[in-house]
């Protein structure tokens, strides 16, 4: 069939059919007619238009029509929850009123969102759970709340401590994408089981706490009223939580219904976790992989300082096309280039000589690295203690992060920066940054923006 006739066929398709969908359906319908004699336009157009309107699209073709090579399309095809409550419509209007929402999400998505979607598929869980990190953190890997919850999944310190997630001066597992994702999905499955297979109640408990939801259920039972999510007396934030997730789900599932075009987002996970063989400065690791240090930091938000933790985990996410370079460079590192750093908080009764003996190093070295004049030290202060040959070169790498009195007065925002990442870099509180710069924590930082780092 010629191109003009095909265009006429597409024009006759029912309202709501996209060009891509129309082409796929018509290709299927016409495939069986390829060997029949030519017909006139009047013979062909009318029956095909009616058939295309009435025939269901096969499920194996429907996946193709939903852009499976694109992550938004792949996620949208697997979203199945449907709810028409007024609260969902209200949250949808709020989301659609943010014109840059999906642009920002798409910029932040790789590789974290790709990883999360893949893990949910492996477990056979509802794809709606992949939207939880969007609701929680807007896919900001350094997101940090006023209640000190952190990371994509916004895990609180108390929850992390209860379940044994590691948090120390060097490393925060809540920001480690694979570790935090594994924990969050385990936790959601646990809540799902606890609340008798009700995902809405499980999500409410994830946001508001299992105790609060359990008390709301008991209160509803005592009053003899319905015990579903929509009927419970819950805090305002938790009442909005599930409607917001459902609203986001409806937008991603049928963006054309809301006159929205989602950015193309590659479904490939183009990074892999690679063993470092011990502690390594991130700048040195980036140099070995021949990539920007800022990009390596973005891929590895759980490493809070200029180097990986001495005790591990000794892994970094590296772009797939840089792995051979990185591993080859690691194999050639000398012992002098493998400087080990320890972080120590001075305790009451400590002396420099006792600390030097404890770490098998010299007092003069501790003083030089930490800029100490004389022998006076104060309980609660922190020290960096190196072990290795070329510690001076390593210290140059660390200079922008340590010691704290070297902090500059200003910071120019770079792509990928967030209030949390900037606060971590300069050993500040997010609230202080917000107050000194009169910032709205809900607004996005703009590259090139200058922030004050002192009152």
The CATH number given to whatever domain includes residue 96 is: 1.10.530.10
Does some domain include residue 168? Answer: yes
Region 402-408: mean pLDDT is: 47
CA distance linking residue 288 with residue 135, whole number of Å: 36
Residue 349 resides in a domain = yes
Mean pLDDT value of segment 104-127: 94
Q: Is 136 a catalytic residue?
A: yes
Higher pLDDT residue, 59 or 241? 241
Whether the CB-CB separation of 291 and 319 falls below 8 Å is answered with yes
Q: Judge whether residue 69 has pLDDT over 80.
A: no
Residue 245: C-alpha distances to residues 127, 200, 251, 294, 372 (Å): 11, 10, 10, 31, 52
Query: Among residues 304, 331, 358, which one ends one of the domains?
Result: 331
pLDDT score recorded for residue 253: 95
Q: Are residues 289 and 346 in the same domain?
A: no
Tokens of 170: 């060097």
Does residue 248 sit in the same domain as residue 283?
no
User: Which pLDDT score, from 0 to 100, does residue 59 have?
Assistant: 47
Is residue 296 located within the same domain as residue 245? no
Token representation of residue 142: 């350094």
Check residue 67 and give its pLDDT: 58
In a domain, 313, yes or no: yes
3-state SS class at 66: coil
Which of 91, 119, 128, 136 is labelled catalytic?
Answer: 136
Instruction: Say which DSSP state 401 is in.
Output: T
For residues 101 and 250, membership in a common domain is answered with: yes
Work out the mean pLDDT of the chain and round it to a whole number: 81
CA angle, 320 then 322 then 324, to 5°: 95
Q: Classify residue 327: in a domain, yes or no.
A: yes
In which band, very low, low, confident or very high, does the pLDDT at 435 lie, cut at 50, 70 and 90?
confident
Q: What residues make up the domain containing 9?
A: 3-65
Last residue of a domain, one of 290, 314, 331: 331
Asked whether residue 224 is assigned to any structural domain, the reply reads: yes
Same domain, 150 and 49: no
Distance between CA atoms of residues 441 and 78, nearest Å: 32
In tens, the pLDDT along 183-195 reads 999 999 999 999 9
pLDDT exceeds 70 at position 23: no
Q: pLDDT (tens digit, 9 = 90+) per residue, 288-305? A: 999 988 889 889 999 988
One domain for residues 114 and 181: yes
State residue 64's pLDDT score: 45
Whether residue 72 contacts residue 117, with contact meaning beta carbons closer than 8 Å, is answered with no
100-114, 297-311, 400-414 — which one is most confidently predicted on average?
Answer: 100-114
Q: Does position 55 have pLDDT exceeding 70, yes or no?
A: no
Domains contained in the chain, number: 5
Specify whether 25 is located in the same domain as 129. Answer: no
Residues 410 and 448 in one domain: yes
Q: Is residue 263 part of a domain?
A: no
pLDDT at 431: 75
Record the pTM.
0.70
* pLDDT at site 7: 52
Among the listed residues 110, 195, 74, the one whose alpha carbon sits nearest the alpha carbon of residue 204: 195
Question: Model confidence over 182-225: pLDDT tens digits?
Answer: 999 999 999 999 999 999 999 999 999 999 999 999 999 999 99
Q: Is the pLDDT of residue 154 over 80?
A: yes
Is 378 a domain residue? yes
pLDDT band at 410 (very low <50, low <70, confident <90, very high): confident
In terms of Cβ atoms closer than 10 Å to its own Cβ (0-12, 13-18, 19+), residue 449 is middle
| Per-position DSSP letters for 302-318, written without gaps between them | TB-SSB--TTS--EEEE
CATH of residue 431's domain is 3.10.350.10
User: CA-to-CA distance for 248 and 143, rounded, in angstroms?
Assistant: 19
56 lies in the same domain as 77 = no
In a domain, 77, yes or no: yes
Q: Are residues 350 and 427 in the same domain?
A: no
Q: Report CA-CA distances (Å) from 65 to 7, 24, 131.
A: 18, 7, 22
Instruction: Give the residue, 36 or 175, on which the prediction is more confident.
Output: 175
> 110 Cβ partners below 8 Å, 6+ apart?
265, 266, 269, 270
pLDDT bucket at 41, cuts 50 / 70 / 90: very low
Output the pLDDT for position 423: 77
Contact 133, 286 (CB under 8 A): no
Q: Do residues 105 and 212 both lie within one domain?
A: yes
Note whether 376 and 417 are within 8 A (CB). no
pLDDT at site 34: 43
Verify that 31 and 101 share a domain, yes or no: no
């Amino acid at each position: 069939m010629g191109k003009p006739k095909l265009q006429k066929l597409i024009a006759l398709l029912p309202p709501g059919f996209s060009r891509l969908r129309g082409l796929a359906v018509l290709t299927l319908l016409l495939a069986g007619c390829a060997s029949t004699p030519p017909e006139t336009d009047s013979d062909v157009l009318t029956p095909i238009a009616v058939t295309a309107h009435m025939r269901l699209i096969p499920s194996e073709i429907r996946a193709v029509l939903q852009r499976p090579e694109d992550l938004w399309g792949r996620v949208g095809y697997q979203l199945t929850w449907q709810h028409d409550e007024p609260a969902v419509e209200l949250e949808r209007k709020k989301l659609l009123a943010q014109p840059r929402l999906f642009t920002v999400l798409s910029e932040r998505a790789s590789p974290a969102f790709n990883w999360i979607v893949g893990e949910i598929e492996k477990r056979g869980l509802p794809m709606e759970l992949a939207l939880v990190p969007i609701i929680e953190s807007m896919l900001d890997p350094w997101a940090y709340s006023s209640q000190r919850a952190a990371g994509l999944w916004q895990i609180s310190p108390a929850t992390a401590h209860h379940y044994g997630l590691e948090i120390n001066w060097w490393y925060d597992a809540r920001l480690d994408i694979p570790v935090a994702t594994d924990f969050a999905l385990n936790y959601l499955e646990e809540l799902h089981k606890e609340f008798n297979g009700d995902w809405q109640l499980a999500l409410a408990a994830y946001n508001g706490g299992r105790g609060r939801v359990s008390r709301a259920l008991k209160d509803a039972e005592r009053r003899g009223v319905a015990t579903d999510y929509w009927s419970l007396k819950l805090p305002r934030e938790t009442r909005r939580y599930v409607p917001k997730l459902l609203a986001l789900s409806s937008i991603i599932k049928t963006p054309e219904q809301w006159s929205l075009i989602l950015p193309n987002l590659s479904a490939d996970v183009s990074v892999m976790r690679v063993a470092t063989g011990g502690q390594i400065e991130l700048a040195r690791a980036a140099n070995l992989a021949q990539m920007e240090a800022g990009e390596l930091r973005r891929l590895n938000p759980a490493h809070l300082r200029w180097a990986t933790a001495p005790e591990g985990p000794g892994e970094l996410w590296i772009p797939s096309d840089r792995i051979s370079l990185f591993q080859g460079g690691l194999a050639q590192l000398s012992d002098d280039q493998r400087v080990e750093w320890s972080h120590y908080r001075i305790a009451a009764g400590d002396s420099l000589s006792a600390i030097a003996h404890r770490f098998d190093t010299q007092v003069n070295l501790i003083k030089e690295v930490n800029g100490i004049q004389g022998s006076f030290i104060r309980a609660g202060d922190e020290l960096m203690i190196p072990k290795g040959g070329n510690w001076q070169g390593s210290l140059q790498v660390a200079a922008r992060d340590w010691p704290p009195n070297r902090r500059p007065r200003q910071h120019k925002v770079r792509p990928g920066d967030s209030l949390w990442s900037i606060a971590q870099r300069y050993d500040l509180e997010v609230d202080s940054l917000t107050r000194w710069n009169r910032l709205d924590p809900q607004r996005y930082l703009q590259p090139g923006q200058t922030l004050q780092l002192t009152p």
